[in-house]
Amino acid sequence: MTLSMWMTLAVILLPLTLVTLGRWRVDVAALLMISALGLAQYFGLGILGKPHTPTDAILAISGFSQPVITTLIGLFILTQTLTANGMMQWVGLQITRLGGNAETRLIFLFTTSAALLSLLMNNVAVGALLLPGAMQVARRANLPPSKLLLPIAFGTALGGMATYFTTSNIVLSNLLINSAPPQTGLTFQDFFPIGGLIALAGIAYLTLFGRRLLPNRQPGPEQLLARRSSAELENFYALGERLWEGRIAPNSPLAGQSLQHSRIGELLGIVVVAIWRKQQAIFNPEAAETMQPGDMLLMVGNQQRIQQLSQWGIELGREKETVSLSRFDVCLVEIILAPHSDYEGKTIKTMNFRRNYGFTAVALLRRGRSYRTDVGILPLEPGDALLMIGPPARLRDLRANPDIISLEPEPPTPTVPRKRAIFSALLLLAAVAASLMGLPAYLAILAAASLALLLGLLPMQEAYRAIEWQVIFFVAGMSAASLAMVNTGLAALAAQIAVRLLAGSGPLGLASAVFLLSAGLTQFMGSQATAFVIGPIAISAAIHLGAAPQAIALAAAIGCSASFLTPTSHPVNLIMMNPGSYRFGDFARVGLGLMALTFLTLLAGLILFWHL
């Protein structure tokens, strides 16, 4: 191996190892790879281009101009357009209405729905959208959520195998186009026949056999993802125990002060959730709201802190009848942190959550314990559930936040006319149809996303929030790494070794090895990183062996989507793990059979459709 090969290997493996161990963010790793490869080329190593050509260092950032980047950005925008306009909420409601109480039927419906939606949408978005509905159905049908959530996660993976519009599939198609010599990329028509067969077989397996392997495990008290009524939420968080009333006395020093200047929340950790002023009720008052003599405050806090307010001229008391927030025109919402949320380690106060979203945190549940005082200054941890209060009109802003999953007490109803929801769906379907008729997918998706923005179906600020920038940077960085593997000959060397090891096994043997290696790495590295690591080697090996590179790349793509054995193999699995009370081994127990079935169906499809 040459110095350039060793350098390329180190630049790829070191960041990916640290990402796998959770030490680095994927976007930081990608930026490091881009910088290191660019600098190595600039100083003459010949990693991205010819040696001693510093001008080729610009190839380090060429990944940002690849069609895969444009396609992903457009898909993120279109997916959010569907969500923001109520289309996906409507789909979720139809599933819950059709499900009834039959376990087998519910597993079939949720698995099939997840697979169908993943044909056109980002898998994580599908999982997050179906999760609340599945929890509600499980609660009403008296089923453990563990019976429904794993089928949803596996359903999104099965659907991702049958479409072009999955990140790893788009990446591998792009790698084919940029290979040496260049190859024809993959299309929707290439993925759908084999991926569709695998999806049908997988749905049948989960419905008929896999359901017997699903754990029968009730969620712990910290997993509060079932949609409860507002009154149930108050009871679960024991909010009534900390709900107090206080009247501002005429001589109170707080009279004439705003809530912010009074520092009630800052000094005592108390939340003022409402102010009664004569015949007017002000719910979730702004920090600038001025307190007046005679105002009645409704507050959440512990008794010791509340009693200190008597020294500030507040007459404390409670009604004989328990005060309940749920009977007023306010919205109680449960939220949990999304996987890899930027909110981890931060506090509600430092994030200005109330100012940005209009909702105030009144309670926090962590490992079975409810915190109802100083909620705003507690650093958030994975698995935390927060009870928020705010105006129903701001729910849309809350749902659009990619760092949280919001679980409204009632199924959300679209806040826009049905025509907008239908038009949003038609835009995405038109983009898919155009790509099937020969228009490059990146142009079709970009045009549809642009139309969505021009027609006002999605505000530009919300579009920026919808784009998963970590994915964009990671794909761009790994594109540069893939180029380095090809240019230095590292991919060809690995391919030659693979061909020698698989001597006599033929193209089908190569496809089998590529699938098994891709599926194995995906369980720990994730699909995107695996696609970039395995893709160049698999394509080069196919070219050396004289096999169809597209068929071998397809096998690698199917392997990258086979996230069946570990919770870390895909973010959707992580989303489902805590709500379903799953253990690490539950994924392998259900997923091993599904993995074997996927492998056998893939081989049959390659023989049938690609004549390997």
CB-based contacts of 5-11 (< 8 A; 24+ apart in sequence): 5/488, 5/489, 5/490, 5/493, 7/40, 7/45, 7/47, 8/37, 8/47, 8/481, 8/484, 8/485, 8/488, 8/490, 9/490, 11/36, 11/37, 11/40, 11/481, 11/484
pLDDT at 209: 92
pLDDT at 607: 94
Q: Is the pLDDT score of 139 beyond 60?
A: yes
Going through 144-242 in order, the beta strands assigned E by DSSP cover none
Q: Where are the domains of the chain?
A: 3-24+34-55+475-610, 68-220+419-469, 228-410
pLDDT at 589: 93
pLDDT at 601: 96
- CB–CB of 133/95 below 8 Å? yes
Task: Please state whether the peptide bond connecting residue 250 to the residue before it is cis, i.e. omega within 30 degrees of 0.
Answer: no
Question: What is the average per-residue pLDDT within 583-592?
Answer: 90
Amino acid type, 82: L
pLDDT at 412: 42
Q: Is the pLDDT score of 605 beyond 90?
A: yes
Question: What is the average per-residue pLDDT within 26-36?
Answer: 89
pLDDT at 320: 43
- The predicted model scores a pTM of 0.65
For residue 532, the surrounding DSSP H or E stretch is helix 527-545
The dihedral sign for the CA sequence 143, 149, 152, 158: negative
Choose the most confident range, by mean pLDDT, from 136-145, 246-255, 372-381: 246-255
Where is average pLDDT lowest: 173-187, 265-279, 323-337?
Answer: 323-337
Q: Is the pLDDT score of 91 beyond 60?
A: yes
Other CB atoms within a 10 A radius of the CB of residue 329 amount to 8
Q: Tell me: the pLDDT tens digits for 218-231?
A: 655 444 444 455 55
Q: Does domain 228-410 have CATH number 1.20.1290.10?
A: no
Structure tokens at 308: 């200190």
Choose the most confident range, by mean pLDDT, from 285-289, 519-523, 524-528: 519-523
Q: Is the pLDDT score of 469 beyond 70?
A: yes
pLDDT at 366: 77
Q: Tell me: the pLDDT tens digits for 197-220?
A: 999 999 999 999 998 999 987 655
Other CB atoms within a 10 A radius of the CB of residue 429 amount to 12
Measure the CA–CA gap between 353 and 336, rounded to whole angstroms.
14
Average pLDDT of the residues of the chain: 82
pLDDT at 19: 78
Q: Is the pLDDT score of 284 beyond 50?
A: yes
Amino acid type, 170: I
Nearest CA among 188, 352, 206 for reference residue 286: 352
pLDDT at 191: 94
Amino acid type, 333: V
pLDDT at 226: 44
Question: What is the average per-residue pLDDT within 501-522?
Answer: 86
